[in-house]
Amino acid sequence: MSTINIGISDLNIAKPPNILATYALGSCIGICLLDRTRSIGGLAHIMLPSSKEATKASDNPRRYADTGIAELIELMRRNGAITSALTAKIAGGAQMFKTSLETFNIGSRNITAVKKVLASYRIPILAEDTGLNYGRTLFFDVATGTMQIKSVVKGTENF
């Protein structure tokens, strides 16, 4: 078994017994996708809700919920997954800084965008650990489908 680390604005897939991991989920969101029958999982670490917010054409499409999730699904499909068999678990989307302006609450906007994109693919969200005001580290066990979240605030939880 090995752990495959996913950086910010990145994604990857794995088969059992590998673990996918991402660190420093503040306002960012980790999206775990699993096709249990074909034993393939994927993880994306997105930063922003929409590629429409890109400031230049060369911006990394994995940075955004809409294009990052689409790329992850396509990568999983090319490796044998069936979109209709995918399920999701999500974590992150914290409000890391106090503000009364919803425009600046990137975490909340990310949660809404991720749920909208997953709904457009008809991918059910089986579990989530989102919002509030603290960072998270995510480990996704492709063999069991368990999303483990570690945080200073809540310790270790399995979803």
Give per-residue burial for 6-30: e unless 16+ CB within 10 Å, then b.
Answer: bebbbbbbbeeebbbbbbebbbbbb
32 is catalytic: no
Phi, psi (deg, nearest 5) at residue 80: 110, -10
Give the amino acid at 137.
T
Element (H, E) at 106: helix 106-120
| DSSP-derived secondary structure letter, 59 | S
Q: Give the active site residue among 13, 28, 91, 111.
A: 28
Contact yes or no for 65/50 (Cβ under 8 A): yes
Give the amino acid at 141.
D
In angstroms, rounded to a whole number, what is the distance separating the alpha carbons of residues 118 and 100?
28
What is the set of active-site residues? 28
